[in-house]
Amino acid sequence: MDHQHVKVNLSRGDAKNKNEDDMDLRRGPWTVEEDFTLMNYIAHHGEGRWNTLARCAGLKRTGKSCRLRWLNYLRPDVRRGNITLEEQLLILELHSRWGNRWSKIAQHLPGRTDNEIKNYWRTRVQKHAKQLKCDVNSKQFKDTMRYLWMPRLVERIQAAAGAGASTSSEVINPQNIVQIDHNTCVTNSSTATASSDNSFGTPVSDLTDCCYNYPQQQQDCFQLVGESLISPTGYFHHALEFQGAAAAAIDHQQNTTQWMDGANFSDNLWNIEDMWFLQQQLNNNVV
């Protein structure tokens, strides 16, 4: 089937495309020429009125398609590239508060689109939930995020701030990290985004990377620096209590029988800890 030229199947809500029903509309990936046309038109006439815009610009696309292309890709302030540690932390925190309100979450991540955040969540976070064999909306998984991933992200952010304090534009300002509530934290996007090159934060691969590279010895050296700086020890008692116990549990587990499907997790510290954490929750029903 030719995906480039098809009749648009109009939904009830899209009845306004009546006129477009009679014309062939392009679908699928945008070409460089189309991008240029759209950018050029918006540069001269501004955005909005997308159906009219599409027509007047001579684009054989729906208004929706033009809008999406502009917002998610062509807009000059769109940030591309890896989601940074700070952004990951923000996403986890905001998602825990608002759920799948991607656009609302995106408002707090300047330059990031709701689509990008949504994709990040689905491909990275949900992947881990799947690996852990638990529902992404379950309490267990949410607690794992709150008490494991987020504290570790904070620690890595701080570690990066310490290690890279003298280098480049990736310096992380501890003041950007603010307390949200007793158990969670979030970077202060308003200050974080004040960096002149619009590239605050530490580029990082993903949560798995965060977990694999977690320096165990840091558990003992958290410190409180200033009132606005998160102290993992202070704010994440549960997490650290857990981590200490987790280490023991891991030792125990590695020396004893395997559990949870009998899978071999010896090369996957992250999963081991997660599994242990979830197991503890199931046993104790408290965190």
Cβ distance to DNA smaller for residue 127 or 237: 127
Q: Is residue 64 at the binding interface for DNA, with CB under 7 A as the rule?
A: yes
Cβ distance to DNA smaller for residue 59 or 230: 59
Minimal distance, residue 11 CB to DNA, in Å: 4
Q: How many residues bind DNA (CB under 7 A)?
A: 47
Candidates 5, 21, 23, 28: give the one binding DNA (CB under 7 A). 28
Candidates 38, 59, 63, 236: give the one binding DNA (CB under 7 A). 63
Q: Is residue 265 at the binding interface for DNA, with CB under 7 A as the rule?
A: no
Candidates 37, 51, 193, 202: give the one binding DNA (CB under 7 A). 51
Q: Is residue 52 at the binding interface for DNA, with CB under 7 A as the rule?
A: yes
Q: Is residue 238 at the binding interface for DNA, with CB under 7 A as the rule?
A: no
Which one of the spans 110-118, 139-147, 160-168, 256-264 is the region binding DNA (CB under 7 A)? 110-118
3-state secondary structure the chain: CCCCEECCCCCHHHHHHHHHHHCCEECCCCCHHHHHHHHHHHHHHCCCCHHHHHHHCCCCCCHHHHHHHHHHHHCCCCCCCCCEHHHHHHHHHHHHHHCCCHHHHHCCCCCCCHHHHHHHHHHHHHHHHHHCCCCCCCHHHHHHHHHHHHHHHHHHHHHHHHHCCCCCCCCCCHHHEEECCCCCEEECHHHHCCCCCCCCCCECCCHHHHHHCCCHHHHHCCCCCCCCCCCHHHHCHHHHHHHHHHHHHHHHHHHCCCCCCCCCCCCCHHHHHHHHHHHHHHHHCCC
Cβ distance to DNA smaller for residue 97 or 238: 97
Footprint of DNA on this chain (CB under 7 A)?
3, 8-9, 11-16, 18, 26-30, 48-52, 61-65, 67-69, 72-73, 80, 100-104, 114-116, 118-120, 122-124, 127, 206
